[in-house]
Amino acid sequence: MRKDIEATPLAEIHGRPISMLNSWLPFACGLTLFTGHGETGKSSMALHLAALATRGELGCVGALRVGLVLTEGGAANARGRLEAAGADMANVFLLRTRNGDSERDLDGVVDLNTRFDQLRQRCEENGIRMLVLDSLAECMGAIDQNQHGPVSGIITRLNRWSEERGVEIIGIHHDGKANRPSRQAPIGASAFVDKSRVVISFVRNGEDGDCYLHVTKRNDVPGHPTFRFRLGGREGESSAFPVVTELEEQHDADWESIKTMCVERTAGSLSPEDMSDAAGALASILNRHGGFMYSFDLKNEALKRYRMSPSAQGRARKKAGIKGVRTPGFGCSHSVCTWEWTPREEALAWAERHPIVDSPARPRSTSEKGNG
């Protein structure tokens, strides 16, 4: 195979017109990153756009087929949310990795590091032109997500696929933890933001208040608009599933002020007494399990004993001195929860002794099954 450097006149390179899905989101210009803390409307907005796409109600294209990669299960929930948003379900596909012959061998995680070509092939075979990766970090496989090079390589391939084949790719990603200097920066290497062509930031004014999105980065289109929206369909309303409602542009909005307001409101959503009680409850649960638990086990047990949102639970974990240690091949949802002072090596050794078994739609550790 010949390898060389060629010089091509730029006049021979054909430009590609920029099309808009709506007033704020360009179509198929590379990876679109939805980033924000938990329960800020990222997934709901992605499914809202997907529902519109299946009905042909986005600005520049007709009806699109949509592919979903749901790394934490939740396919039934996603279906309910799409149906509540009026999606044409015949145009929606669930993309999973098959590791065997039975239904239990279907894995919700699609490893972009090792199965990228297979994912692209399945999308092209089924005519999928909008792809939602929820969450993007869980699809990165065994790479070190704090290193720029490996993350950059995968996102570059997503960008090239999007542009070459006209596929809108939306990756859901989480903001950094509150104790990091870059509090509002997405988890992992800066490449998540640097290499994404479009970055949409999300915040929420308290646990049940208005949501806001801000176009932080849009390489091919000028402007950084801000929109307010609500999540309807909560308990007591017509639908049990949250759907996006009342999407309105906030002209001349000060995004930094909105972020500050939302962070302060969220931080104050539990009283100091309630937060102390919640932290004590989480510490008690972790103690009963010998100081090590998978994050999904801790979350599920805490929800049974102490009802609070995932974002409030995250703050209670910090107050209790509980940290998460990522395990190789998995992301945040499969991290090992342990005490802040516990060496990382001990947490990883515990994970090796207690591997995750069963399907990712309902993962269970061997410790949960009583083998720990």
Note the pLDDT tens digit of each residue in 208-217: 789 999 999 9
The reply to whether 69 and 23 lie within a common domain is: yes
pLDDT band, very low/low/confident/very high, at 273 (cuts 50, 70, 90)? low
- For residues 63-88, give the mean pLDDT: 89
Residues 6+ apart with CB under 8 A from 49: 21, 22, 25, 58, 130, 170
Which residues span the domain enclosing 136?
16-262
CA 222 → CA 33, 37, 225, 267, 348, distances in Å? 17, 26, 10, 33, 45
> Of 240, 262, 284, which residue sits at a domain end?
262
Q: Using the predicted structure, report yes or no on whether residue 44 has a pLDDT greater than 90.
A: yes
Average pLDDT over residues 172-189: 59
Are 65 and 176 found together in one domain?
yes
Q: Distance between CA 135 and CA 213 in Å, rounded?
A: 18
Does the structure show a pLDDT above 60 at 103?
Answer: yes
Q: Is 6 a member of any domain?
A: no
Question: Are residues 153 and 285 both part of a single domain?
Answer: no
User: 329-342 pLDDT, tens per residue?
Assistant: 555 557 899 999 99
Q: Are residues 108 and 241 in the same domain?
A: yes
Distance CA 267, CA 259 (A): 12
Asked whether the beta carbons of 176 and 182 are under 8 A apart, the reply is: yes
Predicted local distance difference test score (pLDDT) of residue 236? 37
Residues 110, 117: Cα–Cα separation, whole Å: 11
- Tokens found for residue 144: 């070190």
Task: Write down which residue in 242, 262, 282 finishes a domain.
Answer: 262
The pLDDT-based confidence of 121 (bands split at 50, 70, 90) is very high
316: in domain: yes
Within a domain: residue 102? yes
**Report for 21-30, 57-66, 240-249, 280-289: range of highest mean pLDDT:** 21-30
Residue that wins the pLDDT comparison between 119 and 358: 119
Residue 92 has pLDDT above 80, yes or no: yes
What's 37's domain CATH number? 3.40.50.300
